[in-house]
Amino acid sequence: MTRRERLCYFLALHRTGLTVAALSLALLVYPLVERNPYTLGVTNLIALHVIVVLGLNLFIGYAGQISLGHAAFFALGAYGTAVATVTGQLPAWVAMAGVAALVALLALVLGLAALRLSGHYLAMATLGFNIVVHTVLLQWDAVTGGPSGFSGIPPLAVGAFAFDSEWRFHFLVWGFVLLALLLCLNLVRSGVGRGLAALAGDETAAAALGVDIRRAKVQVFVLSAVLASLAGSLFAHCYGYVSPDSFDIFASADLVIMVVVGGMGSIWGSLFGAALITVLPEWLEIFATYKDFVHGGVLVLVLMFLPQGLVTGLVDLVRVRLALRRRGDVAA
């Protein structure tokens, strides 16, 4: 084996680890180069969306289910931590962990009931859950602040070091992204992940292969809810203010669009989808008022021309072109 072949083999064998390492290095250097607080704030918002979308992609892309209510878990994480830290005077990290545990329990109960359904019925059930949570946030003024929102949320801190600026928060939130990314990458490569992939392909075939269909659905649903809750808690402590408008059904739709655009069943695509849909209104400020229409248009175009998602679809196109070129070279 030549040196070049050995290098190619090494890169192929450790491709995932090297990619994560390269991403970590880029994220470490980025805030040292980019000092604009506004730009850092946008990238931090991308990170928060990535955490939610990673979990949602497991549920949609690997378990083959659909959820139009994940903004509700995002909201529960944000409001739960806000109320626990400000009203309950609990330490922020304790509040985050406690709220995540409660959200996991709620997702378990909801999953055991709702995941008996499938397809459009499941989508409607999760959409209904989102509407209920959003209505509670609007109407329960004494606890949530109602339409005015909830303010005065303190920043996260480790000892005397507070994550009270966009620059400092960057390292915290992207650290959580890397942990969630590693968790999802390892999960999809494990026996559980292969079972989920079989479940997405054909439930009957997956059951015949020994996959506990209902248990797998509930487990991945709970995991995705916990990731959304953690992202919501980080959101609350980052901005110091939460409002019901950030967690309505349109927010849930945007999360699903991020999954579809990035590619269902593509963990790396989740990063791209979340980034594109988050920054799209920033690029097209003239369409900011019509953000939901723009996002819907992007979704329709992707489903029409690249139904695998932008990342997966473009990668497949490149592979096909390279294969055809090699075939032409061989024929020549």
Residues 19 and 164 in one domain: no
Per-residue confidence (pLDDT) for residue 208, from 0 to 100? 74
Residues 27 and 155 in one domain: no
What one-character DSSP code corresponds to residue 290?
Answer: G
Residue type, 268: W
For the stretch 178-191, pLDDT in tens is: 999 999 888 888 87
Average pLDDT on 30-59 reads 90
- Apex CA 55: angle with CA 92 and CA 72, to 5°? 60
Per-residue confidence (pLDDT) for residue 299, from 0 to 100? 64
Q: Is residue 69 part of a domain?
A: yes
Task: Give percent of the chain above pLDDT 90.
Answer: 27
Average pLDDT on 23-40 reads 86
Output the pTM of the full model.
Answer: 0.87
Residues 60 and 152 in one domain: yes
State how far the Cα of 317 lies from the Cα of 314, in Å rounded to an integer. Answer: 5
Residues 95 and 236 in one domain: yes
Q: Is residue 312 part of a domain?
A: no
Per-residue confidence (pLDDT) for residue 77, from 0 to 100? 93
Q: Is residue 220 part of a domain?
A: yes
Q: Is residue 314 part of a domain?
A: no
Average pLDDT on 117-131 reads 83
Per-residue confidence (pLDDT) for residue 20, from 0 to 100? 80
State how far the Cα of 136 lies from the Cα of 20, in Å rounded to an integer. Answer: 40
- Residue 296 clears pLDDT 70, i.e. is over it: no
Q: Give the pLDDT band (50/70/90) at residue 44.
A: very high
Residues 96 and 162 in one domain: yes
Q: Give the pLDDT band (50/70/90) at residue 285.
A: low
Residues 2 and 105 in one domain: no
Residues 25 and 111 in one domain: no
Residues 154 and 174 in one domain: yes
Full DSSP string of 186-222:
HHHTSHHHHHHHHHHH-HHHHHHTT--HHHHHHHHHH
What one-character DSSP code corresponds to residue 286?
Answer: G
Q: Write out the H or E segment, with its range, that includes residue 150.
A: strand 150-151
Range of 164's domain?
40-250
Contact between 113 and 58 under an 8 Å Cβ cutoff? The reply is: no
Per-residue confidence (pLDDT) for residue 19, from 0 to 100? 81
Residues 18 and 56 in one domain: no
What one-character DSSP code corresponds to residue 115?
Answer: T
- Residue 215 clears pLDDT 60, i.e. is over it: yes
Residues 20 and 140 in one domain: no
- Residue 32 clears pLDDT 90, i.e. is over it: no
* Final residue belonging to a domain, choices 205, 229, 250: 250
Residues 84 and 174 in one domain: yes
Q: Is residue 330 part of a domain?
A: no
C-alpha distances in Å from residue 91, one per residue of 173, 229, 243: 18, 17, 22
Helix, strand, coil content of the chain in percent (nearest 5) = 80, 0, 15
Q: Is residue 289 part of a domain?
A: no
Nearest to 237 by CA among 147, 168, 145, 139: 168
From the number of C-beta atoms within 10 Å of its C-beta (0-12, 13-18, 19+), residue 74 rates as buried
Q: Is residue 161 part of a domain?
A: yes
Number of domains forming the structure of the chain: 2
